[in-house]
């Protein structure tokens, strides 16, 4: 019975447990037990190259996300961001430095189930090579005072990050930088080495991680044999040195007395065998230096006078040899010099359209000591200065030939026209040798240059005057000589002069063409621009010259201005000094071109050229011819009377005013010379 009761008790207990379990299942207790702990996952790698990953993501999942309790930390610092609707949290790691880092997540659900997740990761630099330093050799043996060129390479992925330094002491305490090229090559030139030396070199490179390499170079100075003792080794010498091992050329001997005589090769009695000058040299008597302004000086400066042999020259416009002979003479008094010339140059010429050049009667009078005009300051402008005549002679050359201003018959700049700056369509004008030609009545004159009067063709090489080149007189080798004189008495030099520092230079004018002008309108087309050239508004300057070492105002011929343009006014534009009013020469307008550009049936003559061709009948003679046609053959007395009347009327009508000095404001009349 007892056993049966126990069995029943065990069965009842089992039924009760079964019932309870069934009840739990029935009422959902099983479902409550299947609520699992939260899960955590991430795309975070174990290692990250710096700069390649900015954000990592953590994904958290649970049956009831809203009831989760989260703690997210990065390197111990809490991340406050919450998961999005997908359970994802994005964490910024862009500011993290290189090294080890840890990300940790603790998630607890509503049932208190806890999930703890952590991830360690490393941020690292890119791989880069170690620094390597090489040397061409690690040991040198040099003689004292020798050289040791140390060279080699710095090797690294990026040599632009490398620094190389060197020292002959402790490199950590004192060093010098040594440049390397883009390939890492370097060279250290060590010279005049006097003692044993160890050179330390150290290279350091790295973009992310700096590494270094060090090398040592040993330099050993070789000991050389002692220099031999030097001295006089000749026992016959007065200063023989028995201890000398090598002769140094210092031996001294008793010498015989030197041969005396004249030792100057320039002397007449030069003795090539003389060893010592005895003061016996003899020379040709030296002529005394000619003083500027004396009669002898004028004889040297002026050409074609009686002191020199002048040969006949030719006009290339004619078919035969003309045998023109330049002639000049002068006289002086206490204040002035008067020069008479026949107007023919001392060089071959080309008459041009005004053919043909013929002898003239020119008389030039200038002061021996020029006087500056009061109120004339050509360094600023031409205001207050006597202007050079627009037509006719403005100066005369050293051979007595007139020097004209730039303008020719039509009123244009003849020089600019000749050089192609514009086309002269008013009158046929061209310039010949040395920018010169002849004008009315065969008057030869220069419009520019005139330096040809000092030039001579090399006949041995076949040169003629036709080979004259303006460029040859512009060579900067010496100060140009005087080529002429302005009517105020101041000299005119060639292109080359001395600047403010006394250096040779080609003188440049300070005039330039006005905007849009070409020289077609002559002088009116130009403007003075102070400072662009070397010369003032009169085309001169004050300073020393070979003839006036203490300084004088003087003019220069010019071919260029300071900007490289044409060198108007070529000679002078105004006068710095007072001008004598009765100089001869200089016909006004250039009346060449008759029969080509003006004349009967062609066109009117240029201003100032009358009605007939140059060098032929004047207006007076034409008038006389007209009267002669109406006088009967036996009316000689009437004809004579009419001729005299015409002459008187023409002289009275012409007056005494010289058109060459129009606008002159300072003139004077010295006594005769």
DSSP class per residue in 549-607: TT-EEEEE--SBBTTSSB-TTSS-SEESB-EES------SS----BTTTBBTTTBPPPT
pLDDT > 90? residue 283: no
Question: What's the pLDDT at 82?
Answer: 85
| Closest to 91 (Cα-Cα) out of 75, 107, 106 | 75
What's phi and psi for 92, nearest 5 deg? -80, 120
| 362 close to 396: Cβ distance less than 8 angstroms | yes
CA dist 96 → 119, 123, 126, 144 (Å): 15, 8, 15, 59
| 193 close to 200: Cβ distance less than 8 angstroms | no
Helix, strand, coil percentages (3-state) for the chain, rounded to 5, are 15, 30, 55
| CA 553/CA 239 separation, integer angstroms | 67
pLDDT > 70? residue 609: no
Name the percent of the chain lying above pLDDT 70: 80
Please give the structure tokens belonging to residue 441: 């009545």
pLDDT band at 8 (very low <50, low <70, confident <90, very high): low
Distance between first and last Cα of the chain: 191
Same fold across 35-124 and 132-222: yes
pLDDT > 60? residue 634: no
| CA 373/CA 369 separation, integer angstroms | 13
Q: Is the pTM of this model over 0.75?
A: no
Delimit the domains of the chain by residue range. 2-32, 35-124, 132-222, 619-661
Average pLDDT over residues 522-532: 96
Please give the structure tokens belonging to residue 362: 């020119």
**Is CATH 2.60.40.10 the right assignment for the domain spanning 132-222?**
yes
Q: CA 5, 11, 17, 21: dihedral to nearest 10 degrees? A: -160
Question: Which of the listed ranges 35-49, 463-477, 487-501 does the model predict with the highest average pLDDT?
Answer: 487-501
- pLDDT tens across 167-177, in order? 988 888 888 99
Average pLDDT over residues 62-71: 88
| 345 close to 359: Cβ distance less than 8 angstroms | no
Q: For tokens 């080699």, name the residue.
A: 152
Q: Which residue has the higher pLDDT, 378 or 644?
A: 378
pLDDT > 50? residue 37: yes
Which residues, 6+ apart, have CB-to-CB distance to 282 below 8 Å? Answer: 262, 267, 268, 269
Please tell me what DSSP assigns to residue 36.
P
- Cis upstream peptide for 394 (omega within 30°): no
| Closest to 569 (Cα-Cα) out of 452, 438, 403 | 403
CATH topology of domain 35-124: Immunoglobulin-like (2.60.40)
């Amino acid at each position: 019975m007892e056993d049966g009761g126990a069995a029943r008790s065990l069965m009842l207990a089992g039924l009760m447990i079964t019932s309870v379990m069934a009840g739990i299942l029935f009422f959902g207790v099983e479902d409550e037990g299947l609520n699992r702990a939260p899960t955590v996952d991430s795309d975070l790698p174990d290692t990250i190259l710096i700069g390649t990953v900015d954000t990592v993501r953590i994904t958290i999942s649970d049956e009831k996300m809203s009831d989760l309790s989260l703690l997210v930390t990065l390197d111990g610092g809490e991340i406050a961001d919450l998961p999005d609707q997908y359970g994802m949290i994005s964490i910024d790691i862009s500011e993290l430095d290189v090294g080890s880092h840890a990300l940790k997540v603790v998630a607890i659900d509503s049932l208190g189930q806890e999930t703890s997740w952590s991830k360690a990761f490393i941020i690292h630099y890119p791989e880069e090579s170690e620094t390597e330093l090489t040397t061409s050799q690690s040991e040198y043996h040099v003689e004292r005072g020798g050289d040791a060129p140390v060279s080699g390479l710095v090797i690294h992925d990026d040599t632009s990050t490398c620094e190389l330094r060197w020292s002959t002491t402790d490199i950590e305490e004192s060093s010098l930088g040594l440049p390397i090229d883009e390939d890492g090559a370097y060279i250290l030139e060590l010279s005049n080495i006097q003692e044993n030396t160890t050179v330390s070199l150290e290279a350091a490179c790295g973009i992310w991680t700096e590494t270094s390499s060090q090398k040592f170079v040993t330099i050993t100075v070789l000991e050389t044999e002692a220099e031999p003792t030097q001295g006089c080794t000749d026992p016959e010498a007065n200063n023989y040195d028995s201890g000398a091992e090598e002769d140094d050329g210092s031996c001294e001997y008793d010498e015989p007395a030197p041969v005396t005589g004249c030792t100057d090769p320039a002397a007449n009695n030069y003795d090539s065998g003389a060893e010592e000058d005895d003061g016996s040299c003899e020379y040709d008597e030296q002529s005394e230096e000619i003083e500027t302004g004396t009669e002898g000086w004028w004889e040297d400066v002026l050409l074609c006078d009686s002191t020199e042999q002048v040969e006949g020259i030719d006009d290339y416009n004619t078919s035969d040899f003309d045998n023109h002979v330049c002639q000049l003479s002068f006289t002086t008094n206490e204040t002035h010099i008067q020069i008479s010339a026949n107007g023919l140059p001392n060089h071959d010429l080309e008459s041009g359209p005004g053919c043909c050049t013929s002898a003239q009667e020119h008389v030039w009078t200038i002061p021996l000591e020029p006087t500056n005009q009061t109120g004339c300051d050509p360094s600023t402008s031409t205001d207050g200065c006597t202007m050079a005549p627009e037509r006719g002679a403005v100066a005369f050359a050293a051979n007595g030939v007139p020097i004209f201003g730039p303008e020719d018959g039509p009123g244009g700049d003849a020089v600019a026209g000749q050089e192609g700056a514009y086309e002269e369509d008013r009158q046929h004008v061209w310039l010949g040798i040395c920018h010169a030609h002849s004008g009315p009545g065969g008057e030869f004159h220069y419009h520019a240059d005139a330096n040809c009067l000092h030039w001579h063709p090399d006949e041995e090489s076949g040169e003629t005057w036709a080979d004259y080149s303006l460029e040859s007189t512009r060579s900067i080798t010496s100060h140009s000589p005087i080529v002429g004189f302005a009517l105020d008495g101041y000299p005119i030099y060639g292109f080359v002069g001395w600047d403010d520092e006394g250096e040779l230079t080609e003188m440049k004018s300070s005039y330039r063409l006005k905007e849009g002008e070409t020289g077609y309108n002559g002088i009116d087309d130009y403007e003075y621009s102070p400072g662009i050239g070397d010369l003032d508004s009169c085309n001169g300057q004050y300073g020393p010259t070979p003839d006036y070492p203490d300084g004088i105002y003087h003019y220069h011929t010019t071919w260029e201005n300071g900007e490289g343009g044409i060198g108007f006014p070529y000679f002078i534009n105004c006068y710095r000094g007072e001008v004598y009013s009765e100089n001869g020469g200089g016909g006004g307008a250039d009346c060449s071109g008759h029969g080509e550009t003006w004349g009967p049936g062609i066109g009117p003559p240029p201003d100032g050229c009358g009605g007939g061709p140059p060098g032929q009948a004047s207006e007076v003679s034409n008038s006389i011819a007209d009267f002669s046609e109406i006088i009967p053959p036996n009316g000689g007395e009437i004809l004579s009377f009419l001729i005299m009347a015409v002459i008187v009327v023409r002289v009275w009508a012409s007056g005494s005013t010289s058109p060459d000095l129009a606008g002159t404001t300072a003139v004077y009349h010295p006594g005769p010379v």
